[in-house]
Structure 1
Amino acid sequence: MTGHTERPLLFLDVDGPLLPFGEDPQRAPRGTTPDSRLARLTSEVGSRLAALPCELVWATTWEEEANAEIAPRIGLSRLPVVRWPEATEHHEREDQWFGLCWKTRPLVNWAGGRPFAWVDDEITDADREWVSTHHSGRALLHHVESYRGLADEDFAVLDQWLRAL
């Protein structure tokens, strides 16, 4: 591709950001079945995601299931899917030592130097630090509260960061 750079990536987790667990840690848990959680998915979420200036990529243990179950419910077409490598014992031990999310290293590899935003409920400062050291492009690791899911302020942060690139 000549003349322009590739659009930044947005790695999207499902459980937490798109399917909140709905249990505010300050309150007593209430029962949430997978079906009741899927019922929360709206086309509004899909159109807000589609409006962001980036390439959306599933970064979830749902893998292809995200295209079968989630994408149609929120009005998105089929998205690329990050395939999680079998964890090597060496990397697993090292990542636990650094306190890294198990997704961090594979996502940096997948991005291959492209700028990316990553929305997940498991992101910590350890992940941000590791990415800033091991990823040559710009990156935004955006933590979303799993009981709340993606909210207006999350979309505002993502939109602002992506447009500033």
Structure 2
Amino acid sequence: MAVHIATLPDLDAVIALRLVLHRLGLASDMETLRAVQVGLPAALERREALPGVPPDPAPTAGTLARATLALLAEDPTSRDAALWAVEEARAEQAERDGLTVVVGALVVIALRTEVLIERHPKKGVTIRFHLKPISDPLLRNVFSQLLGLFSAAPPGQDAPPPELPQ
């Protein structure tokens, strides 16, 4: 399974992540995904939940999606859905437009047991990470990718937009 995930092109990996969330009953509309995505950098700035996890120096939407798929494939509650989604994504052509823009939101939703997403009518979406020290290498990799892709730039510099596959 890891070999299949590792060889997925970036866009197919993001599509597979969306498909696995749909299969698990966690599918969200694009408006919700965009709202979660907008709140992600601020949530990642509160690094107390991610001690010892450095930002990945060269993340992409595809590497983040593949890391999350590998994590989901190891979990007995999501393994079958992840296997199905990886195979389905190889042939899937729908939903390609706009999906990579919300890869961070897809990851946050996939980690539902690790992340609390709260909707506030006047404030929008708040994201809080509720984690014990991260020792699982797959989970560390997912959060390292998230930090690398969505952490704010150092003071005085604009954060570059995430590299998205074409």
TM-score (norm 2): 0.26
Larger radius of gyration: 1
TM-score (norm 1): 0.26
Higher RCO (CA < 8 A, seq sep 6+):
2
